[in-house]
Structure 1
């Protein structure tokens, strides 16, 4: 059960951080702050902490500071994990909140891959994926016909 709560906390943190960059952030902030306040804390103070995280995330993304962006997500993952471990019944409410905040088909799943390319210009194909099937770059080479002995 603990592993499930940890995964839910990670999904929750990812969703909250992703929502920080959307037009609906104010509504999301208020819903998350209310969720957290029901488990202890002052709702306005929690909303302020979420807003501070959003400013940090926005500044980090604008300047390419990936570590700071990751730290913001990690901070909320830890906070949500603590809430869920202290009150496992909160899991159902968090799941419902995440379902409300995340349109179907846009949920980050465990194992999803996020890649970032940095360091200047890339002079060739770049493939970023979790799973890659057969890939052909350029013109495929035609297979050689089977060798036949003369007179056969």
Structure 2
């Protein structure tokens, strides 16, 4: 059960911190603060969440991955403690996570990318990808940009 609560705390922290840098945070913040308060002053928790959000935005702006990870770790620890002290809160947290970060449907998703190729001559199809797997290799001397 401890491992399950630890995993739930990690999921919660990831979701909350992910929301902090989106427009959806303004709507989610109050609900998150009320969940986390549990007998504490909601306004104090709300202020702590806002402070974390500002730290996170600054970390992203400065490319400070460690700073962003620290914010996530802080909320992961706090959630884990809250769940340890009140295991009944796990179901409420699951419900909150389902509402704030619903699972994507298994259907097809489509995204549109606009890519530009500069320099070089290509007499055939051009495939642009972040990474290609399953044994696909380039032919020596035919890498993009080779003439």
Q: Name the TM-score, length of structure 2 as normaliser.
A: 0.74
State the distance in 2 between where 1:27 and 1:126 align. Answer: 34
User: Which residue pairs with 1:29 in the alignment?
Assistant: 29
Counterpart in 2 of 1:15? 15
Inter-partner Cα distance in structure 1 for 2:135 and 2:63: 30
Counterpart in the other structure of 1:65: 64
Structure 2: state its 5+ residue gaps.
106-128, 141-147
- Indicate the residue corresponding to 2:100 in structure 1: 101
Which whole-Å CA distance do the structure 2 matches of 1:79 and 1:62 have between them? 25
Corresponding residue of 1:145: none
Q: Which residue of 2 aligns with 1:79?
A: 78
Between the aligned partners of 1:99 and 1:25, the Cα distance in structure 2 is 15
More displaced 10-residue stretch of structure 1: 18-27 or 78-87: 18-27
- Structure 2 CA distance, aligned partners of 1:6 and 1:27? 26
Aligned to 1:147: none
Q: Deviations over 1:56-97 (max 9, x none)?
A: 000000100000000000000000000000000000000000
